[in-house]
Amino acid sequence: MLNEPYLLELLNALFTSTCSWLVHIASSSFDYNQKSDGEEQMNILKKLPLTSEPNRQLSYIPEFIMENIIDYLKFLGRYNTQVFQSIGSSINEYVNLILVFMGDMNRLRNPHLRATLAEALEIILPNEHEKTNRIINNLYTETMFQEYPLIEHLPCALLDVFVSIELTGQAVAFEQKFSYRRPMYDILEYLWKFDKHREPIKKLASYAERHIDDAEAPLFLRFINLLMNDANFLLDEALTYMARLRADQEAKEHGEWNEKPEKQRQELENAFQHTGRIARYMNIMGIKTVNI
């Protein structure tokens, strides 16, 4: 059984150790000519972003190792949120991993993986509302988001991955980017409640204002531009789908569907339900985007 406590405990031990190892590799510089005289010491993360050249050893690590960690957190978020209450400080290792890799395209080039790290972070996010994929009233994580070392780097990392999924050579499917950005909206909304996280965003905004004419647009300016484009697209699509729903609803009420064969009526009904779901999704995402 996947929800067996002992199995989850072992998995947590495996994945937190893996997180520590990945962060160690990411923050290490590797010299092929250097010989080790003893046991290698694990690096302690002291500063972000990492400015050293990426360790070439990262290129030898298969992506499924990171995917397994993300899938484990998403599994807990959906089926066993109580586990987070018991693993306590182990959450630190997951947060370290997210802080190091989510905003660093040099150490994690796959934009899908970087975006799904935001999904994993959303699972850890404290929330007062009862939702199935969140920890409820977890004081430990609430404190962590305010006092954890280097957590102030989180807003910048979020904006970076938000923007990077649209960069040339890192593009993802057009519709898929909205599912990636949904958890980012929730995280940014939560972080905005705290001065510690508002200040870095304000600094990015001030920098963008001063450098608005630069050849390479500042990060915050690109973020705002994409945010406005997304809002316009989502709200326009929502109106289009709602207009289509209204036309289909009127045709149904006027009995036009009754003249069709049964199979075609069923197809029309399925299409009507599908259009309704898309319209609802576009409205929800449009409102979330505008609220940011």
| Helix H or strand E encompassing 135 | strand 135-136
pLDDT at 246: 94
- 191-220 pLDDT, tens digit per residue, is 998 999 999 999 999 999 999 999 889 999
Would you state the structure tokens that stand for residue 225, as one six-digit string?
């531009």
**C-beta separation of 94 from 120 below 8 A:** yes
Sorting pLDDT into bands at 50, 70 and 90, what band is 290? confident
**CA-based angle 203:208:212, to the nearest 5?**
160
pTM: 0.83
Location of structure tokens 């050249």: 53
Residues 270-289 have pLDDT tens digits of 999 999 999 999 999 999 88
Question: What's the mean pLDDT in 232-242?
Answer: 93
Question: Measured at the alpha carbon of residue 134, what is the angle toward residues 131 and 139, in degrees to the nearest 5?
Answer: 120
Per-residue tokens: 288: 């979330």
Q: What does the pLDDT look like over 146-165, one tens digit per residue?
A: 888 889 999 999 999 999 88
pLDDT in tens, 5-22: 888 889 999 999 999 999
- Give the rounded distance of the alpha carbon of 191 from its chain centre: 14
